Amino acid sequence: MGMQACNLQNLPENYALRFWLYHLMTWPQISFVAEDAKGQIVGYVLAKIEHPSEDDKEAHVHGHVNSISVLRSYRRLGLANKLMLLAQEAMTSIYHAEYCSLHVRRSNRAAIGLYRDSLGFEVAKVEKGYYGDGEDAFSMRLNLQNKNGFIN
Amino acid sequence: MSRATLAKKNALPLKEAGLFKELLSQYENRLLKKGLKTAEQILKKFPEHGETLCMKGLLLTHMGRREEGIDLVKKGIRFDLTSHICWHVFGLIQKADKNYEEALRSYTQALRFDSENINLLRDSAQLQTQLRLFDNLVETRHHLLRLRPNLRQNWVALAVAYHLNGNLDEAKRVIEQYLYSLKNVPNYDVELSETLLYYVNILEQSGDLSGALSELDTKSKSRAIVDRTAVLTTRARLLTKLASPEAGDSWKALIDHNPDNLESYRGYLADQGVSLDDPTSALEAIPHLKAFAKTYPKASVPVRLQLTILPASDPEFSTLITNYLERALKKGVPSIFADLKALYSDLEKRKIVETIAENIKQQNFAAVEEKPSKVDEQKEPTTYLWTLYFLAQHYSYVPPSTTVVPNHKLALEYVNNALSHTPTLPELYLLKGRILKRGGDFLGAASAMNEARILDGQDRFLNTKAGKYLLRAGMVEEASRLFGMFTKKDAESPGHDLEDMQSLLFLLEEGDAFKRVGKPNLALKRYMAVKKIFDTIEDDQFDFHGYNLRKFTLNVYLTLLTWEDTLRSHPGYVNAAIKASNIFVEVSDDPSIVKALTTTDHLSDAEKKARKKAKKAAVKAQEDKKSTQTSNADKELEAPPPKDDDPEGLKLIASTDGLEQAAKLLQPLTKLAPKNIDVWLAIHDVAIRRKKLLQAVGALHKAASLDAEHPELHIRLVDLKQRGKTFSDLPAPVNSTFTEELEKLIPEAASQSLENYNAQYLQRHSAESRCILAAAKVAKSLSGSVQDVENIVFNVFGPEVSLDIKTALSALSLLVSLSSQRKDEFRAAAQKHFEFSTAFKAPSELEEMHKYVLAESTADGKPASAESTTPEKK
Ligand SMILES: CC(C)(COP(=O)(O)OP(=O)(O)OC[C@H]1O[C@@H](n2cnc3c(N)ncnc32)[C@H](O)[C@@H]1OP(=O)(O)O)[C@@H](O)C(=O)NCCC(=O)NCCS
């Protein structure tokens, strides 16, 4: 619920709790939260794994970041960066994800800075009018296989 | 649904039997309209065929004709009481209604006539889990496993059932049997990995720690367990419990995995025999933390923990905090104050931080004021700015349970100073807003928040804050307009979207705002919407009772169940439950509140028009929704949500069973929030009005054990004593226990003169404004003399009394409710006490000021109402 509350304060794309539960119950290992000293959630990353087709399992497994945000008063501390790294590591070591994908608003400078400059994502394509209000999305990707390698 | 057993007295002839089969498959494929036609075809010839009637009813409920559908189902059952299909249909409908008890009863009936029906059994198991009927669950899971031993999930399902029922030995046995039977599992199989982690969990819980450890170690080495974080965490925990010499290293491994997790440090230190909760023991942590700080220079935990542990008198504290603070201010970390304020419970530490920050400010002042040539390379203007920002927070903050007197004036000075250097930083306006709010200028606060929002219109965080502050200022409509910038455009209103998205923050804040502006109906409506969200979340777990077993995510599933069991301890629920129950109580004491709300006489024409318009819009939105829904009806089985016929909450607030609703709201809190005194006070308030005397006095006992001198308790004790005299019509044993219990709380002697009792209370707490107010309220109920009340109330301005805005406002409304002659005198005194406040202005004055809150900045760049709060000047 803390993740949900944090999301509602930060982003226009919101979901009912059921949606959050569904992700946590299916892929409990790849979503993370950041807490302040009192245990209040101040940032989160919510992620999922996609297996595109049943018969071709190993080839295309990839992770997808649904939502990430950090409360404004806790930004620029490196929290989002850390959360992303934890999620990426879990995607690779547990699910053998080949790459990690996500969508971001074309105008979201902070997020694009995080994905591209800090984490090394690249724009895979532009999706016109992806968001509810008509804004374009960058569909971004990060290859996980040669970057992190296998930990274990 | 199984189609096998039709050959009974209600058997259909071949042709119709074929049609019925078709009907079933049409339902399963969501072909509702076609199904309906088929059903009608059968019923033409056999109008009393129970199973067809039930199926038709089921279809109708999915097509928006609920009532009619349910009637048909009931009729169908009467024609065929021994059909499992009829009962199954009935169960399905009840289940969709979240009526789990009834649904389970129907399923149980259905199973009597078709005991091996897998669907029935599986659904029953889910219902039994939802209802926490674990004995029955074990039985059902056993049955399912016997019928389908080849289905892997049936094994883990049985194990989980045993586990939930507290039978760990059986759970372990079943899982072991299952694991033993597994063959040819590929490496890196996430399902197996999760199952093994669950097995380790069972071993641990049943006390077989070394078994758990060796299973964990072998299976993670062989890469059957792939979740590294889980392995490291579990391993460290197990080794610690086993007091193994390896435990320390296991915690170190965890710290290395993620050096920002406080829990890992705690674990490591505990293993070294250091407890962070005991100040003297904690000191021993310092050398360890120093070492960690060296190894992980980027991690903040090891340094931050030292700041908590080191005593203020230790010179090391000063050195460390100086570096810590300087680094953060140089880098411009906005959250540094939020991080450090926890240290302030130690007032000496607070003082040290203040001195250091003031020094940094002095040192960097040059960078801003002096000519660039003279400026020291090291000193940055932004450092100066962030230092001002830090200090402003510092001066306006009162650490809990200390007597620090906030200096809002100085804080404002700092913030304004910072703003004059950098007028484009939203954080500064956010802070200014917060300071003004603390000083009681809710309008100026909202205005500052709005300035922040305007500076970065894309940021929803700023938007949410601005909306929240508008609500605090009682400007509900303006707030809604702001929220609307980020809510879905096709929603009926911003509020509806926020409610759909389950925003507790919004519902609670808007509820409070409605309460303040005299619309308890809408406030109640919002609080009850919060309750509904919690009901929904409780229902949300239902599907996971099946889902997680299929996915083998068992440990997280058990966490989910525990979390759901304690769901209502969430502060959002507690808050809403108490506030809703307060409104129910108020209405029960004074039914004229409802009457005043429902007669429209007092409304102005404009308001009446607005109401009509809102009503029309609501009806239209409902209709729009409906029309899109029926067109989808064939694809979707979700029934459309029933429409809200009480958008204003007027029926709700007029409920004749308000007190019963309140009691139900509070009931779960007796177990889930027993340390919250407000919970017990609210329980008392409801119980006494429901004539549940023993419950009422019991609740006060609980309250007294938490804080015997609590002002709200004082009010209730005297009230109960007075009421006590009127309960003579109760059965004697109840009455005498009640008297006895009450006696323990407030001695009989005192009740000889409750006036004296009250005076003594006042004397004991003469410097606490909330207690003074309580004594005034008691005086009101005892003598009813306005003058007595006034004499007490004005004590809040005494020189030793610490007065806060909230209490001052309650005191004012007490005077207003008594039509006291001295209310304006009180307003003036409060205004003097809270320099910046606008909260004590007369309502008419405030209304005028609302206009300026959202006005764009005036020519001099300052927000319209934040500086000078009197609009006449503009
Ligand atoms: C995007 C967001 C999650 C970043 O969170 P954060 O914890 O502040 O990010 P970090 O501190 O980890 O920053 C990592 C890097 O991201 C980049 N970055 C972050 N904020 C930035 C900003 N405002 N401008 C430019 N780059 C920025 C920088 O490269 C930064 O590295 P640096 O600090 O070493 O320069 C946060 O700004 C946020 O919650 N925004 C609102 C919600 C949102 O837009 N989510 C993304 C939806 S796809």
Q: Which DSSP string corresponds to B567-592?
A: GGGSHHHHHHHHHHHHHHHHHHH-TH
As a whole number of angstroms, the distance between CA A92 and CA B446 comes to 46
Q: Which residues contact B596 (CB under 8 A, 6 or more apart)?
A: B602
Query: Per the structure block, which two tokens stand in for A36?
Result: 């302040």
A1-143 CATH choice from 3.40.50.1220, 3.40.630.30, 3.90.1150.10, 3.40.50.1970: 3.40.630.30
Query: What is the DSSP-derived secondary structure letter of residue A12?
Result: S
| Number of structural domains found in chain B | 1
Query: Quick check: is B773 in a domain?
Result: no
With a 6 Å cutoff on the Cβ, whether A145 touches ligand 1 is no
Q: Is B406 left (phi over 0), alpha (psi -120 to 50) or beta?
A: beta
Query: Quick check: is B65 in a domain?
Result: yes
As a whole number of angstroms, the distance between CA B458 and CA A114 comes to 17
Q: Tell which one of A14, A71, A75 to mutate to probe ligand 1, the residue whose CB is within 8 A of the most ligand atoms.
A: A75
Task: Return the pLDDT at B627.
Answer: 45
Task: Return the pLDDT at B402.
Answer: 83
Task: Return the pLDDT at A73.
Answer: 86
* Selected residue with higher pLDDT from A133 and A84: A84
DSSP H helices, B46-151, are 50-62, 66-79, 84-96, 100-113, 118-130, 134-147
Query: Per the structure block, which two tokens stand in for A35?
Result: 């807490």
CB of B641 within 8 A of CB of B625?
no
Task: Return the pLDDT at B616.
Answer: 63
**Which of B6-10, B362-366, B564-568 is predicted with the least confidence, judged by mean pLDDT?**
B6-10
The stretch B85-97 carries a mean pLDDT of 93
Question: Could you tell me the pLDDT band of residue B626, with boundaries at 50, 70 and 90?
Answer: very low
Task: Return the pLDDT at B865.
Answer: 42
Phi, psi (5° rounding) for residue A66?
Answer: -75, -45
Query: Quick check: is B548 in a domain?
Result: no
Task: Return the pLDDT at B370.
Answer: 56
CB of A45 within 8 A of CB of A89?
no
The stretch B713-742 carries a mean pLDDT of 83
CB-CB under 8 Å, A29 with B230: yes
Query: What is the DSSP-derived secondary structure letter of residue B633?
Result: T
Query: Is A100 within 8 Å of chain B by CB?
Result: no
- Distance in Å, CA A111 to ligand 1 centroid: 5
CB-CB under 8 Å, A18 with B335: no
As a whole number of angstroms, the distance between CA B512 and CA B476 comes to 10
Give tens-digit pLDDT for B400-437. 888 888 899 999 999 999 999 889 999 999 999 999 99
As a whole number of angstroms, the distance between CA B694 and CA B724 comes to 12
As a whole number of angstroms, the distance between CA B701 and CA B683 comes to 12
Task: Return the pLDDT at B123.
Answer: 95
Q: How many CB atoms lie within 10 A of CB B694?
A: 12
As a whole number of angstroms, the distance between CA B796 and CA B578 comes to 27
The stretch B288-311 carries a mean pLDDT of 93
The angle at the Cα of B482, spanning A43 to B846, to the nearest 5 degrees, equals: 115
With a 6 Å cutoff on the Cβ, whether A118 touches ligand 1 is yes
Task: Return the pLDDT at A11.
Answer: 67
As a whole number of angstroms, the distance between CA B382 and CA B144 comes to 68
CB of A35 within 8 A of CB of A74?
no
CB-CB under 8 Å, A76 with B332: yes
Percent composition of chain B: helix, strand, coil (DSSP 3-state, to 5): 70, 0, 30
The DSSP-derived string for B161-182 is HHHHTT-HHHHHHHHHHHHHH-
Residue B645 has pLDDT above 70, yes or no: yes
Which residues of chain A from 17 to 46 reach within 8 Å of chain B, CB to CB? 17-18, 21, 24-26, 28-29, 36-38
Pairing assessment for the beta strands A62-70 and A137-143 based on DSSP bridges? unpaired
The stretch B263-292 carries a mean pLDDT of 92
Q: Which of B461, B540, B544 sits opposite A17 (nearest CB)?
A: B540
Q: Tell which one of A11, A32, A66, A70 to mutate to probe ligand 1, the residue whose CB is within 8 A of the most ligand atoms.
A: A70
Closest CA to ligand 1's atom 17 = A114
CB-CB under 8 Å, B555 with A28: yes
Question: Could you tell me the pLDDT band of residue B512, with boundaries at 50, 70 and 90?
Answer: very high
- pLDDT over 90 percentage in chain B: 68
3-class DSSP state of B244: coil
CA distance A25 to chain B (A): 7
CB of A66 within 8 A of CB of A97?
no
Question: Could you tell me the pLDDT band of residue A39, with boundaries at 50, 70 and 90?
Answer: confident
**Which chain A residues are Cβ-neighbours of B193 within 8 angstroms?**
94
Q: Which residues contact B780 (CB under 8 A, 6 or more apart)?
A: B788, B789, B814, B818
Residue A62 has pLDDT above 90, yes or no: yes
Residue A50 has pLDDT above 80, yes or no: yes
As a whole number of angstroms, the distance between CA A54 and CA B649 comes to 51
Residue B326 has pLDDT above 80, yes or no: yes
Task: Return the pLDDT at B492.
Answer: 85
Q: Which of B334, B505, B557 sits opposite A73 (nearest CB)?
A: B334
Angle between helices B711-724 and B677-689 (to 10 degrees): 20
Q: Which domain holds residue B54?
A: 11-115
The angle at the Cα of B817, spanning B813 to B821, to the nearest 5 degrees, equals: 90
Task: Return the pLDDT at B188.
Answer: 74
Q: Which of A10, A14, A94 sits opposite B190 (nearest CB)?
A: A94
Q: Which residues contact B24 (CB under 8 A, 6 or more apart)?
A: B1, B3, B55
Task: Return the pLDDT at B634.
Answer: 39
Query: Per the structure block, which two tokens stand in for B775?
Result: 């004594």
Task: Return the pLDDT at B608.
Answer: 60
The terminus-to-terminus CA distance of chain A in angstroms comes to 32
Question: Strand order in A32-35's β-sheet?
Answer: A32-35, A41-50, A62-70, A99-105, A137-143, A122-127
Residue B20 has pLDDT above 50, yes or no: yes
With a 6 Å cutoff on the Cβ, whether A8 touches ligand 1 is no
Question: Could you tell me the pLDDT band of residue B369, with boundaries at 50, 70 and 90?
Answer: low
Query: Per the structure block, which two tokens stand in for B869?
Result: 């709060």
ipTM of predicted complex = 0.87
Per residue in B695-734, is it b (16+ CB within 10 Å) or e — as a string?
Answer: bbbbbbebbbebeeebbbbbbbbbbbbeebeeeeeeeeee
Torsion of CA B754, B757, B758, B764, to 10 degrees: 180
**Which of A136-150, B48-62, B615-629, B730-744 is predicted with the least confidence, judged by mean pLDDT?**
B615-629
Task: Return the pLDDT at A53.
Answer: 67
Give tens-digit pLDDT for B825-866. 999 999 999 988 888 988 888 888 887 788 754 434 444 444
3-class DSSP state of A101: strand
Task: Return the pLDDT at B288.
Answer: 95
Report the mean per-residue pLDDT for chain A. Answer: 85
CB-CB under 8 Å, B464 with A94: no
The CATH number given to whatever domain includes residue B106 is 1.25.40.10
CB of A67 within 8 A of CB of A54?
no
A32 forms beta bridges with A45
The stretch B452-466 carries a mean pLDDT of 92
**Which chain A residues are Cβ-neighbours of B530 within 8 angstroms?**
none
Phi, psi (5° rounding) for residue B290?
Answer: -60, -45
- Distance in Å, CA B106 to ligand 1 centroid: 54
Query: Quick check: is B464 in a domain?
Result: no
Task: Return the pLDDT at A133.
Answer: 82
Q: Is B474 left (phi over 0), alpha (psi -120 to 50) or beta?
A: left
- Checking B632-639 for CB contacts under 8 A at 24+ apart, the result is B633/B32, B633/B33, B633/B62, B633/B63, B633/B64, B634/B30, B634/B31, B634/B32, B634/B33, B635/B30, B636/B30, B637/B30, B637/B62, B639/B61, B639/B62, B639/B64, B639/B66, B639/B96
3-class DSSP state of A143: strand
CB-CB under 8 Å, A11 with B460: yes
Percent composition of chain A: helix, strand, coil (DSSP 3-state, to 5): 40, 30, 35
As a whole number of angstroms, the distance between CA B180 and CA B198 comes to 15
Query: Quick check: is B172 in a domain?
Result: no
With a 6 Å cutoff on the Cβ, whether A9 touches ligand 1 is no
Give tens-digit pLDDT for B329-341. 998 889 999 999 9
Residue B631 has pLDDT above 50, yes or no: no
As a whole number of angstroms, the distance between CA B318 and CA B311 comes to 10
Interface test with chain B among A36, A94, A133, A148, by most B beta carbons within 10 Å: A94
Residue B207 has pLDDT above 80, yes or no: yes
Q: Tell which one of A33, A41, A76, A115 to mutate to probe ligand 1, the residue whose CB is within 8 A of the most ligand atoms.
A: A76
Length of chain A equals 152
Task: Return the pLDDT at A75.
Answer: 87
3-class DSSP state of A141: strand
Question: Could you tell me the pLDDT band of residue B375, with boundaries at 50, 70 and 90?
Answer: very low
The stretch A83-112 carries a mean pLDDT of 93
Query: Quick check: is B48 in a domain?
Result: yes
Question: Which regions of A8-98 does DSSP assign to beta strands (E)?
Answer: 32-35, 41-50, 62-70
Task: Return the pLDDT at A13.
Answer: 66
Residue B510: exposure state from Cβ atoms within 10 A (0-12, 13-18, ≥19): buried
Give tens-digit pLDDT for B57-80. 999 999 989 899 999 999 999 988
Give tens-digit pLDDT for B101-142. 999 999 999 999 999 999 999 999 999 999 999 999 999 999
Report the mean per-residue pLDDT for chain B. Answer: 88
CB of B231 within 8 A of CB of B216?
yes
Query: Quick check: is B213 in a domain?
Result: no
Which residue is it, tokens 């019509």? B729
As a whole number of angstroms, the distance between CA B572 and CA B512 comes to 13
User: Which of B150, B157, B149, B91 minimizes the C-alpha distance to B120?
Assistant: B91
Closest CA to ligand 1's atom 40 = A69
Phi, psi (5° rounding) for residue A101?
Answer: -120, 165
The stretch A38-53 carries a mean pLDDT of 86
**Which chain B residues are Cβ-neighbours of A24 within 8 angstroms?**
556, 560
Query: Quick check: is B98 in a domain?
Result: yes
Query: Per the structure block, which two tokens stand in for B121?
Result: 């059994």
Q: Which of A4, A95, A132 sits opposite B502 (nearest CB)?
A: A4
- Distance in Å, CA A110 to ligand 1 centroid: 4
Task: Return the pLDDT at B256.
Answer: 94
- pLDDT over 90 percentage in chain A: 55
Residue B532 has pLDDT above 90, yes or no: yes
- Distance in Å, CA B11 to ligand 1 centroid: 68
* Selected residue with higher pLDDT from B348 and B732: B348
Task: Return the pLDDT at B613.
Answer: 63
SS3 for B1-53 is CCCCCCCCCCCCCHHHHHHHHHHHHHHHCCCHHHHHHHHHHHHHHCCCCHHHH
**Looking at this protein, which amino acid is placed at residue A129?**
G
As a whole number of angstroms, the distance between CA B739 and CA B736 comes to 5
Interface test with chain A among B556, B559, B573, B575, by most A beta carbons within 10 Å: B556
pTM of the model: 0.87
With a 6 Å cutoff on the Cβ, whether A75 touches ligand 1 is yes
With a 6 Å cutoff on the Cβ, whether A45 touches ligand 1 is no
Residue B872 has pLDDT above 70, yes or no: no
- Distance in Å, CA B222 to ligand 1 centroid: 39
